[in-house]
Structure 1
C-alpha cells in the first residue's frame, strides 16, 4: 500500500495530459508525412479545407459574442449575486473558468478540422496501395482528435481545481465546454445534413448519379459538412461529456470528503488511467493487408477497455482506494461496452436488422421508414436498460459507504463508461475522414478498385460511428444522473449557508415537481424539432440552387471538361442557414430551465431535469440508431443486394437515409449535449432558485 496525496495525483494527471498532447502532435506529423501527389485530389481537398475553416471561423465569431454575454452574466450572478457577497473573487474565478472551458472546447474542434482535412487526402491516396495504409492514415488522423480532446479536458479540469480550489468553478468550466459544444454540434449538424440531403435527393434520386459525382454542386459542401459536423461538432460534444462526468464526480467527492480526500484522488486516478489506456490502445491499433476495418476498430476498443480495468484495479490495491467505488466504475465500463455491441447489432450492415430494412425497401420508401423507425425504437431498449441497471447497481454497491455515496457511485460509473473516451473519439473521427476519402477517390478518378476499398472503410466508419454515438449518449445519460446528484449537493450546500431547508429527494406527487417533470419531457422534442426544421428549410434552399446551376451552366449536366459547378454557393447556403438556426434551439433549452427554476424553485427543477433526462435519452438513442440503420441499409443495397444501385429498393433506401441523416447527425447527438447543458445551468443557478421563485 502506498499513500498518495491529491497534489501528487493532480501532477501525474497533468503529466499524462501533456503526454497525450505529445502523442497527438506525433500522430499529426505522421499523417502529414504520408505521400500525396494527385493534383486533382489536392485541389478538391483544398476546397474542403477552406470551406470547413470558413464555416468554423464564422461560427466561432457568433459563439464568441454569446460567450462574452454569458461571461458577464456569470460574473454578476454566480455562484452568488454580486450584491449579496462580500467576496467578488468567486464570481471572477467562475467567469474565467467558464471562458477557459469554451476556449478549450473550441480548440478541440479546430484541431479536429485541421487534421481531418489533411488525413482525408492521405487516406484517399493510400487506398491505391491497399486497405492497410488507407486505414492507418484514417485512424491515426482520428486519433489526433482523440488524444488532443481528452488530454486537454483532463488538463483543464485539473488546472481549474488546482488553481482555484473550488469544485463549483469546475462546474463553470464544464458549462463553458457544454454551451459551446451545444451550439457547435447543432450548427455543424445542420450544415452537414443540409448538404448531404440535397446532394442525395438531387444527385442520386432525381438524376441517378454516383454518391460523389463532381458535377453535383452540393458534393463539396457535403464533404465539408462531414468535417464541421462529425469532427468539430463531435469533438466538442465528447470533450463536454468527459468534462461533465469529471465535474459531477468532483462536486460530490468534495462534498463527501473535502478537496484533499480519497474521493477526489480516486476521480483523478481513474481519469488519468483512462487517458493512459487510450494512448496505449491507439498505439497498438493495427490491421492486416486484407484485414477487416470494423474488427480492427472494435478490437482496439476492447484492448483499451481491458487495460483500463486491470490498471484501475491495480491502482485501487496499491493506493488503498475503496473497492466498492472501483466496482461502480467497472460496471460503467462493462455496460458501456455492452451498449456499444447492441448498437452494432442494430446498425451493422452484416447483421439481420439492416438486411430486413433493405428488403422492406423493395416495397417502397414508406416501408423503409416504417421498418427503420420501428427498429430504432426497439434499439433504445437495451441501452436504456443498461443505463438503468448501471445506475441501480452503482448506487447500491456504494450506498453502504455512507450518506451521499450512492450518487457518488453513479457519477463514478459514468466516469468509468467515459474512461476510454480517447479511443471512442479516435474511432468516431475516423468515420468522416474515410467518408471524405471515398469522395476524393471518386472525384479524383482513382478507379473502381480504390473506391471499393474506401467504401469498405466508410462502411466500417458508419458502423463504428453508430456504436460510438450509442456509447456517448449512454455515458451522457449516466453523467446527467450524476449531475442531478451534483445539483442536489449544490442546493443543500447553499441551503445550509442560508439557514433554510434543503432537499432529500424529488417526489413526483408534489405538484411543483410534476410541473417541472412535464415541461422537462417536452424540451428535447422541441429542441430536436427546431434543429430538423432548420435542416429542412436549408436543404430546400440548396436543392433549388442545385437545380438552378444544372439549368444555367452550359455543359455541366454533360460533364464537359473544364466546366465546374459553383461549389462555393452551396457551401455559403449551408453556412448561412446553419448559423441562423443554431442559436434559437440552444437558447430555448437554457431559457426554459431558467423560467422553470424561477417559477417552481429547486423542486420544479428536480422534476424538470428528471423529465429532460428520460425524454432526451429515449429520443437520442432512437434517432442515432435509426439513422445509422437507414444509412447502412442504403449501403447494403448499393453493394448489389435487393436489386442494387438504381433499383426501386435503392431509391427507397436513399429516401430512408435522407430522413435518417438529420436524425443521426443533427438532433440525436445534439440531445446528449442539451441534457448536460440544462443540468449544469440548474446546478450553477441553484442558489438563485432557492432565493427567488414564485412557488
Structure 2
C-alpha cells in the first residue's frame, strides 16, 4: 500500500499539543466539579450536638420563610433534616462498603482468570505471523498481553467503583440542603440539586478520561509503537468498568425496589399514608436505595458505557492508517471528542445555574430539556472544530482486510449523527413518559377501571415507544458505516457519550430531588415545600427516562465493532459469519433468549425481597402500638437489613449468568456460536430494555399526574387514596423493577458480554469450540 493512499496530509493538531489538551480538559472538569461542590456547601453547617441529638452536622438556613401554622421552628426542622440525612448517608455507605468487599473478591478472581486465559495464547498478533489486519507491527509475548489486560481490568473496576461511591456521597451530602433551599423557593432548590448532580457528572467524565489517558501512556512504555497490541490490552479497562456496573446496578436496583415496593404496597395502598411518611418502616430503606441504585449504580453504569465505547473506538483506530503511520493525534480522536465534551458541558451548565432563573415549577422540566439541546448544538460545533484540527483531510481505514478511503468530514457526520440521533430518541422518550402528553394521560385515564387496564395500557405504551428509537438507531448505523465503516459506528457512539457530564448531572439530579422530598415529608415540613420537591422529582423522572432510552443507541453503535472482532480473528481461520450455519443460528436464538432469562432473574429477585419487606412492614403496623398515630417510631433498621441482605444475595446469580455465558459459549462452541449469541442478545435486549424503561416511567408519571391534580382531567380521576389512585400506585409498583432494575441492567448485559468477548478473543480463536472438536 502506497503512502500516498494512507495520507494526503497530517492533522493540524500536533502530538505535543494533544498530550496537553486531553489531560488539561480532564483537570478543568475536576476543578469545575469541586467549584460546584463548594457552592453547594455554602448552605451553612455547624455542630450543635444538643439541638442535633448527637449527630455531627446540623444544617441551618438563615433565610427560611416564616413558619406556617402547625410547622415546627426552623432550627428544629433543620436538625430533623440533618438527622434524616445522616441516617440515609450511613445506610448507603454501609451497604456500598459491604457490596464492594464482595466485589473485591470477584475482581481478584476474575483478574486471575483473565491472566491465565490470555497468558496461555498469543494475542491477535504473534511474532511468527504478521500482526492482524496487516499493520506489520511486531507483537508482544502472550504473558505481556495477559498482564496488561489484567491491569487494565483492575483499573477500570476501581474507577467504576470510585465513580459510584463518590456519586453516592455527593447525593447524600446534597439532599437535605436541597430540602432546606426549597423553603426559599423552587428556583433555589433546583440550583442546589442540579449543581450537586453536576459535581458527579464532571467528576465521572473527567476522571474516566484522565485514568484512560494515563493508562495508555503507562502501557506505551512497554508497547512502544505497537498500537494494536496496546489497545488490545486496554480493552480490559472497559471490561472492568462494566463488571462493577453490572453488580452495582443489579444489587442497588434490588435494594431500592424492594424497599420502594414494600413502602408503597403497605403504606400507600393499604394504610393510605403519604409516600415518605415517617410512620412507614420502609421509608429510610427506600431513600437509601435511591442513592445506592439510582446514583451509585447509575454512575458505574454510565462510566462503563464511556469506557467500553472509547476502548472500541481506540482499538479500531489502531488498525487503521493512523496506526501504520503512528499518528498519535489522529488515533486519540476519540479522547479528543471526550475532552471537547467536557468543555461544552461546562458552558452548558452555566445556562441552568447562572443564566436562567427558575421562578415556578412549570419551568423546571423545560430547563432540563434545554440542557440537552444546548449541549447538542454546542457539541456539534465542537466536533467540527476537533475533526478539522485532529484528523488529516484524507486517510485509510481497514475494515477487517478491506481498505476504505475516508475524508475527515465523513467522521464529523458520523459523530454528529450519533449525537443528534440520541437527542431524537430522548425527545421521543419524553413524549411517551412525560405526563404533559397524551400517552401517559391515557395510562392515567385507564386507572378509572382498575389496575388491570392500567397495566394493559402501560405495556402497550412501552412496546410502541420502541419504534422510533429503533429506526433512529438503524439510520445512524447505516449512515455511519457507509461513511467510515466500523470506525464510523464506533465514533458515532462517542458522539452520544460526548455530553455525558450533562447527562449524568441530569440523571443524578432526579434521585437528589426525590430524597429531598422524602426528607421534607419525614421532617414534618409544610405541604408547600413537598409540592416544590415533588415538582423537581417529576421533572427528573422524565429526563432520566430520556437518558435510559438513549443508552441503547450507545450500545448499538459503539459495541458493534466488538461483535465482529472476536468472530473474524485470522487465527480462527474465519472469514465471514453465516447466519444459516447451525453453529451461528443456535447462538442467535440462545442469545435472543438471554435478556428474558436475565430479566426474569432480576425481577424475581426484586419480588422475593419485596415479599419479605411487605411482610415486615405489615408486621410492624399490626404489632407496634401507636405506630399509625405517630407516637412511636418504627423499626427502620430491620427494613434496611432486609434490603441489604436480599440485594447482596440476589445479585450473584444474574451477575454469574452474564459473566460466564461468553466464556462458556466461546470455549465450548467457538467464535461462530459466540457471534450469534452476541447478535441475538443485542437484537432482543435493546427492545426489551427500551420498552421496560418507558413502561415503568409512564406508570410512575401517570401516578404523579393523578396525585398532582394540576388539570381538570387529573382532578376528575380522584384524589389521593381513591380507587383510581390506588390502581395507579399498583401500576407504578409493577413498573419499579422494570425501569430501575431490569431495564438498565439489560444495557449492561449487552455491552458486558461484548467487551468480555473482545478481551478473551485470542483464547477463543486458539482454543474455542472444544465441544464441537470432541464431537
Give the TM-score normalised by structure 2: 0.85
- Out of 360, 363, 369, the position equivalent to 1:290 is 360
State the secondary structure of the residue aligned to 2:332.
helix
2:475 maps to 389
More displaced 10-residue stretch of structure 1: 320-329 or 665-674: 320-329
2:82 maps to 42
1: CA distance between counterparts of 2:648 and 2:42?
Answer: 35
Per-residue CA deviations over 1:260-306 (Å, capped at 9, x if unaligned) read: 33641322221211122112212332333226111111112211111
- Out of 292, 296, 299, the position equivalent to 1:228 is 292
More displaced 10-residue stretch of structure 1: 66-75 or 334-343: 66-75
1:336 maps to 422
Rg larger for: 2
State the Cα distance separating 1:82 from its structure 2 match: 8.5
2:708 maps to 639
Asked if 1:118 corresponds to 2:173, the answer is yes
2: CA distance between counterparts of 1:483 and 1:283?
Answer: 37
> Mapping of 1:227-306 within 5 angstroms?
227-259=291-323, 260-261=326-327, 263-286=330-353, 287-290=357-360, 292-306=363-377
1:371 maps to 457
> Mapping of 1:80-479 within 5 angstroms?
80-81=120-121, 86=141, 88-165=143-220, 166-259=230-323, 260-261=326-327, 263-286=330-353, 287-290=357-360, 292-321=363-392, 322-398=408-484, 406-479=485-558
2:579 maps to 508
More displaced 10-residue stretch of structure 1: 465-474 or 191-200: 465-474
2: CA distance between counterparts of 1:418 and 1:132?
Answer: 28
- Out of 656, 661, 665, the position equivalent to 2:731 is 656
State the secondary structure of the residue aligned to 1:88.
helix
1: CA distance between counterparts of 2:332 and 2:410?
Answer: 15
State the Cα distance separating 1:202 from its structure 2 match: 0.2
1:585 maps to 654
State the Cα distance separating 1:476 from its structure 2 match: 2.2
The answer to which structure has the higher helix fraction is 1
Asked if 1:676 corresponds to 2:716, the answer is no
1: CA distance between counterparts of 2:565 and 2:378?
Answer: 29
Per-residue CA deviations over 1:512-532 (Å, capped at 9, x if unaligned) read: 111111111111111111111
1: CA distance between counterparts of 2:447 and 2:755?
Answer: 43
- Contact residue 328 and residue 412 of structure 1 kept, 8 A: yes
Instruction: Identify if the C-alpha distance between structure 1 residues 124 and 271 changes in structure 2 by more than 3 Å, giving closer, same or farther.
Output: same
- Contact residue 477 and residue 672 of structure 1 kept, 8 A: no
State the Cα distance separating 1:89 from its structure 2 match: 2.8
State the secondary structure of the residue aligned to 2:625.
coil
State the Cα distance separating 1:480 from its structure 2 match: 2.2
Q: CA-atom RMSD, angstroms? A: 1.7
Asked if 1:27 corresponds to 2:49, the answer is no
2: CA distance between counterparts of 1:70 and 1:472?
Answer: 26
- Out of 539, 549, 552, the position equivalent to 2:610 is 539
2: CA distance between counterparts of 1:288 and 1:115?
Answer: 23
> Mapping of 1:553-572 within 5 angstroms?
553-560=624-631, 563-572=632-641
2: CA distance between counterparts of 1:465 and 1:301?
Answer: 12
Instruction: Identify if the C-alpha distance between structure 1 residues 689 and 371 changes in structure 2 by more than 3 Å, giving closer, same or farther.
Output: same
2: CA distance between counterparts of 1:249 and 1:232?
Answer: 26
State the Cα distance separating 1:90 from its structure 2 match: 2.4
Structure 1: unaligned runs, 5 residues or longer: 399-405
- Contact residue 609 and residue 642 of structure 2 kept, 8 A: yes
State the secondary structure of the residue aligned to 2:427.
helix
Give the TM-score normalised by structure 1: 0.95
2: CA distance between counterparts of 1:87 and 1:346?
Answer: 51
Counting matched residue pairs gives 678
State the Cα distance separating 1:377 from its structure 2 match: 0.4
1:401 maps to none
State the Cα distance separating 1:439 from its structure 2 match: 0.8
Structure 2: unaligned runs, 5 residues or longer: 1-9, 45-58, 61-77, 127-139, 221-229, 393-407
- Contact residue 76 and residue 82 of structure 1 kept, 8 A: no
2: CA distance between counterparts of 1:558 and 1:294?
Answer: 37
- Contact residue 239 and residue 755 of structure 2 kept, 8 A: yes
